[in-house]
């Protein structure tokens, strides 16, 4: 294997192994920032040694052993600076590795360690941007450059967010643990929110030249699946996984040959991924079985399932979708949920009924700068034959979106309306 091949192998292994390394190290040093630094040291060692010696048979074990020994050295230095010589001996006796055995290196505690890392990276003390950046760095294995490119912000901005997040966790002495009791529910909500935010940014990019960012969807799905394995009795975890699996099943059909967006009802459903749909429906069934009252992610997954089960757009159960959005609006009142409900009403009861529901939202004034509000209104006006009004709405929507692919689609729809205006 050539040196470039080995470097590629190391990069791929790092993406897989780094969350486990950092999680296990954080349990030892009780500091996420230090744990990441130690894991990075092990990566540097691999980059230096493996091109000469070859990739070991158990690379994850090698990385963990190297990082763990550095953690021991770190503990020794810290203890020495505090003049705790007796602790040095105890730490060395209890923490020294006998060899690069992966199971021993992880102390059979990887599940607990990963949970701790997830809950720490998504701690509510951090801003949304910091939680997202730290989660992708620690659990997604992404570099600051990769995160910056995904969210179209300067690399320095991402680096600052990560540094600030680590500093906040250290200053607030956030415990490296899974919360218990009533705190678990609120903290779990934060974790799910971060994972879903990452997925949504990949599924429909808020800005830039690309409509989709598949790598972000894949990272969010992987995080969701890991969390579902670690917390098998939490229904909303399975609800979120179900939602992401079903949404991701449409990815291949959501863009045309040149990357242009294709709307849901115009997609070739033969290109939807049947395996992801089945996985999503299984996760949805599990979420509904675990709890009678559906949560926000389970309800959204149930809506996505209505589309997934319909072989053609005409077979879609729009009445059920309206009912599900009504249930979701009761659970989490939101003008965006009401807008989605209005779309479903327009499909179930006709564009006039949908427009009436949308205009009720417009009168409230809550979504004044939300680009999808005029887009939905334009679609309904176009169906009603009010083409000049529809053109104006599509143009307004195009002026509000920051995604170039979406802007092109909206302007094309505006031109189509203008071309058909008497």
What secondary structure letter does DSSP report for 233? Answer: T
**What confidence tens digit (pLDDT) does each residue in 273-283 have?**
999 999 999 99
d(CA 384, CA 359): 14
How far apart CA 164 and CA 119 sit, in angstroms, is 17
Q: Which two tokens stand for residue 387?
A: 């083409």
CB-side neighbour CA atoms (13 Å) of 231: 25
Q: What per-residue confidence (pLDDT) applies to 409? A: 95
Compute the average pLDDT of residues 100-107. Answer: 41
Per-residue pLDDT averaged across 381-404, rounded?
Answer: 95
The mean pLDDT value for 255-275 works out to 94
φ/ψ (deg, to 5) at 261: -65, 145
Distance between CA 389 and CA 317 in Å, rounded? 29
CA distance 227 to 217: 15
Structure tokens at 44: 């540097």
| Cβ proximity of 375 and 343 under 8 Å | no
pLDDT score for 88: 47
The pTM of this model reads 0.80
Q: What burial class does residue 144 get, using C-beta atoms within 10 Å of its C-beta: 0-12 exposed, 13-18 middle, 19+ buried?
A: buried
Largest CA distance in the chain: 90
Q: 202-250: per-residue pLDDT in tens?
A: 888 777 777 778 888 998 999 999 999 989 999 999 999 999 999 999 9
Q: Please state, in angstroms and rounded to a whole number, the distance separating the CA atoms of residues 61 and 100.
A: 5
For tokens 């020294």, name the residue: 96
Give SS3 for 316: coil
pLDDT exceeds 50 at position 94: no
- Beta-carbon contacts of residue 47 (< 8 Å; ≥ 6 apart): 7, 10
Poorest-pLDDT segment among 159-168, 175-184, 227-236, 411-420: 175-184
pLDDT > 60? residue 316:
yes
- What is the domain partition of the chain in residue ranges? 3-108, 109-227, 368-422
Most confident region among 196-200, 283-287, 367-371 by mean pLDDT: 283-287
Average the pLDDT over each of 90-104, 249-263, 299-313, 384-398 and give the range with the smallest value. 90-104
Give the model's confidence band at 54: pLDDT under 50 very low, under 70 low, under 90 confident, else very high. confident
Mean pLDDT of 120-124: 90
| Ranges 135-139, 165-169, 375-379, most confident | 375-379
């Amino acid at each position: 294997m050539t040196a470039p091949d080995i470097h590629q192998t190391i990069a791929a292994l790092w993406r897989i192994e780094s969350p486990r390394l950092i999680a296990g190290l954080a349990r030892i040093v009780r500091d996420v920032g230090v744990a990441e630094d130690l894991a990075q040291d092990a990566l540097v060692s691999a980059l230096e040694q493996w091109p000469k010696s070859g990739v070991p048979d158990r690379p994850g074990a090698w990385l963990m052993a190297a990082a763990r020994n550095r953690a021991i050295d770190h503990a020794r230095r810290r203890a020495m600076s505090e003049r705790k010589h007796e602790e040095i001996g105890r730490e060395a006796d209890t923490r020294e590795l006998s060899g690069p055995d992966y199971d021993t290196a992880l102390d059979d505690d990887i599940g607990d360690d990963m949970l701790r890392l997830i809950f720490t990276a998504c701690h509510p003390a951090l801003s949304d941007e910091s939680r997202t950046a730290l989660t992708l760095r620690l659990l997604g294995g992404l570099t600051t450059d990769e995160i910056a490119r995904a969210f179209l912000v300067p690399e320095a901005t991402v680096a600052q967010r990560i540094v600030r997040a680590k500093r906040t966790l250290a200053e607030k002495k956030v415990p490296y643990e899974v919360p218990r009791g009533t705190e678990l529910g609120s903290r779990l909500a934060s974790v799910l929110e971060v994972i879903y935010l990452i997925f949504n940014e990949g599924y429909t990019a808020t800005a830039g030249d690309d409509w989709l960012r598949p790598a972000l969807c894949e990272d969010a799905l992987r995080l969701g699946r890991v969390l579902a394995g670690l917390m098998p009795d939490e229904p909303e975890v399975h609800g979120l996984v179900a939602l992401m699996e079903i949404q991701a099943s449409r990815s291949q059909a959501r863009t045309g040959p040149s990357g242009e967006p294709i709307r849901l009802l115009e997609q070739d459903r033969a290109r939807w991924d049947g395996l992801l749909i089945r996985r999503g429906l299984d996760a949805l069934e599990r979420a509904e079985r675990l709890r009678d009252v559906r949560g926000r992610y389970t309800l959204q997954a149930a809506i996505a399932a209505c589309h997934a089960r319909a072989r053609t757009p005409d077979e879609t159960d729009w009445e059920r979708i309206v009912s599900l959005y009504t249930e979701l609006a009761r659970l989490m009142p939101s003008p965006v949920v009401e807008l989605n409900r209005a779309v479903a009403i327009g499909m179930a009861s006709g564009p006039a009924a949908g427009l009436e529901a949308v205009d009720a939202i417009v009168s409230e004034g809550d979504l004044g700068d939300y680009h999808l509000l005029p887009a939905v209104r334009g679609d309904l006006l176009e169906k009603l034959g009010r083409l000049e009004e529809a053109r104006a709405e599509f143009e307004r929507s195009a002026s509000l979106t920051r995604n170039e692919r979406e802007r092109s689609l909206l302007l094309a729809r505006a031109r189509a309306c203008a071309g058909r205006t008497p």
